Amino acid sequence: MSRTFFVGGNWKMNGDKKGIDEIVDFLTKGPINSSTEVVVGCPQCYLIYTREKLPSNIGVAAQNCYKVAKGAFTGEISPAMIKDCGCEWVILGHSERRNVFGESDQLISEKVGHALDAGLKVIPCIGEKLEERESGKTQEVVFKQLSALLPNIKDWSRVVLAYEPVWAIGTGKTATPDQAQEVHAQLRQWLRDNVGAEVADSTRIIYGGSVTAGSCQELSKTGDIDGFLVGGASLKPDFIQIINARG
């Protein structure tokens, strides 16, 4: 099955209106391969500004949301609010949410479920730490994280799964194409065994972890890597090369 190539840019806690204008400028000039789906994740205070500035063919994602529609949850944002800002996507379970802010597999699963129920499209992130990879626990860790998501995902057509090895995020280290492909193939087989063949064949599994203009083309040639979730490189004009990695 042909899966549409997907490239997400996660700006994290970076940027201001001037910087966003510069990103909008290079994204608008492109050129961007029309067969690649592009989504950028911006800080929540800039959701409306970014959505209004970017052309409609580029999606805008929130970087997080909570598991209910409204209430006494100071500092949080709901899927309904994201939609009200004109945005359709949310990134959930990023390693920084898990490892800096202590979010559990269960909480992330509940967030994913509510976001989907509210009509958003979701990029759930999974991945192992360096010590887990070195002790041979990569498969165990990512399968556990994926298993936790399963009860709350009813519609896989609105899910783009991001594999982000924690040891390769912001470190300059990148999994080799063979290392990344191995995990992506295992994740796809897990979907086949636990959800079904159609979901396994159609769900896009993207790679995140210090992806650069230099590493993207080789990574994109593997059979089970359907795109990227890019951090720091998405703030720079080189992001265009990553978007166009599949030519």
Active-site residues, by number, are 94, 164
- Distance (Å, rounded) from C-alpha 198 to C-alpha 193? 11
Q: Tell which residue, 195, 198, 185, 174, has the closest CA to residue 226.
A: 185
- Judged by DSSP in three states, 59 sits in strand
CB 3 within 8 A of CB 202: yes
At 189, the amino acid letter reads Q
| Cβ-Cβ contacts under 8 Å for 46 (sequence gap 6 or more) | 15, 17, 20
Question: What angle, 0 to 180 degrees and rounded to 10, lies between the N-to-C axes of helices 138-149 and 177-194?
Answer: 40
CB 188 within 8 A of CB 227: no
At 79, the amino acid letter reads P
Residues found in the chain = 247
